[in-house]
Amino acid sequence: MYILGRFCQRNGIQMRHVNDLLESPRNVMHLVILEREAATDRLNHDRTTVEVLFRRFAGQEGPNYKSNVTSSQTDSSSDSLHDYASGLVGVKMARSRKVMDREIPYTFTGKAAHDWLMDCTTVVDNRECLELATLFIHYDLIIPVIEDRGYPRSATIPHRFQPTKSAVYAISAKGEKSAGWTNSPKASTEGSEGFISKTQNGTLRDSNTNRMTVIIRDPALRLLFREFLRDTHCEENLSFYLDVRDFLATYEIAKSAVTAPKLEIIRETLAQAYSLYNAFLAPGSPCELNIDHSLRNALAGRMTMAIGEDEEMVKSLDEVARLFAQAQNSVFKLMASDSVPKFTREPKYSAVLHERNFDYVLSNLSSTSIG
């Protein structure tokens, strides 16, 4: 239902029976939206992005304990499929598990971890799920406690995650710090000039614009910023900005096409523009954005105008792309001035901002536009 809701919002779909379902008490899931590479749609694998996901996996408000486990055997009652009503509570784990003569805290089965990743994030298949869980091991966020000897070994990945009930894992000391359960020293910001950066000629630039630029470029910060916008009911601003970025990239490809079906490519690109308009800019659209009145009128006039054939269609696409670029810039400025200051002051995100050396990145940011 969560995926359906996002699809309907992004495509301007409003149907009463669908809306009734989405607004019902059954729609309580909050998925962790994973950031992907724009060109390949692959999941981002950099350390900080994985650690941000791990914070959600381990539990934002602390461990999500199940009933105590006192032996090396797992209890199957807490490993049932679809065990998670919300992605924000973290994987179910034992407060303590006795293995041999040791009491090991914060343990969970491979299957419980697999179920959380499949049910509570936007992974699309088992392959991506195992990819992420293996990265948790690779970055020393979780450690194997009990191996499932019946699970096939990988010759290429020595510490491949095992998604079974017999495999048991624990949160590592580093994982506890990454989850925010224990205090960790703030990352060094030596050389930082706070949130005020300078261009090469020494003139001051708008710090909030710089912050927004860094957030757009950094998948870990973008993931957190999306969560913040969702909490403040304006996630559509970031979605629109990124969707227009993809649209403008498609537009450039369509313009440079020299093969026979060029007009077909132009038509498809215009169809993409209409989809964006209906979702974000049309009066009464489900994700209607707050943009300048004159720009909104110009977009409405262009998008409701009849489109001719051949060269007229190309000219129409040029004008549509220009107006969308203006709308994208307007939304960027709105996020920079309104949302970014609140985001950077939010205590629950401060640790990641320090880990990313946010101040230092800002002070060394090039003056190149990201538009």
Report the pLDDT value the prediction gives residue 102, as an integer from 0 to 100. Answer: 87
Report the pLDDT value the prediction gives residue 146, as an integer from 0 to 100. Answer: 92
Q: Is the pLDDT of residue 356 over 70?
A: no
Report the pLDDT value the prediction gives residue 306, as an integer from 0 to 100. Answer: 56
Report the pLDDT value the prediction gives residue 221, as an integer from 0 to 100. Answer: 87
Report the pLDDT value the prediction gives residue 68, as an integer from 0 to 100. Answer: 54
Q: Is the pLDDT of residue 196 over 70?
A: no
Report the pLDDT value the prediction gives residue 358, as an integer from 0 to 100. Answer: 57
Give the integer Cα–Cα distance in Å for 192 and 15: 51
Token output for 63:
């461990």
Q: Which residue has the higher pLDDT, 49 or 83?
A: 49
The H or E element containing residue 300 is helix 293-303
Q: Is the pLDDT of residue 47 over 80?
A: yes
Give the domains, in start order, of the chain with CATH numbers: 1-30 (no CATH), 35-178 (1.10.10.10), 207-363 (1.10.167.10)
pLDDT digits (tens, 9 = 90+) for 325-352: 999 999 999 999 999 999 988 887 776 6
Q: How confident is residue 74, by pLDDT bands cut at 50, 70 and 90?
A: very low
Mean pLDDT in residue range 41-52: 87
Token output for 106:
């914060």
pLDDT digits (tens, 9 = 90+) for 300-314: 888 877 565 566 777
* Chain mean pLDDT for the chain: 79
Q: Is the pLDDT of residue 110 over 70?
A: yes
Q: Which residue has the higher pLDDT, 187 or 137?
A: 137
* Ramachandran angles phi, psi of 99, nearest 5°: -125, 115
Give the integer Cα–Cα distance in Å for 59 and 120: 12
pLDDT digits (tens, 9 = 90+) for 17-39: 888 887 887 776 778 888 888 77
Q: Is the pLDDT of residue 236 over 80?
A: yes
Whose tokens are 């720009």? That residue is 295
Token output for 299:
């977009």
Q: Which residue has the higher pLDDT, 211 or 365?
A: 211
Q: Strand 64-65 vs strand 92-99: parallel, antiparallel, or unpaired? A: parallel
Determine which of 16-30, 111-125, 270-284 has the lowest per-residue pLDDT on average: 16-30
Report the pLDDT value the prediction gives residue 268, as an integer from 0 to 100. Answer: 84
Give the integer Cα–Cα distance in Å for 53 and 33: 9
Burial of 214 (0-12, 13-18, 19+ CB in 10 A): buried
Q: How confident is residue 237, by pLDDT bands cut at 50, 70 and 90?
A: very high
The H or E element containing residue 170 is strand 168-171
pLDDT digits (tens, 9 = 90+) for 146-191: 999 888 877 667 678 999 999 999 999 999 988 888 765 444 333 3
Whether the CB-CB separation of 75 and 92 falls below 8 Å is answered with no
Q: Is the pLDDT of residue 78 over 70?
A: no
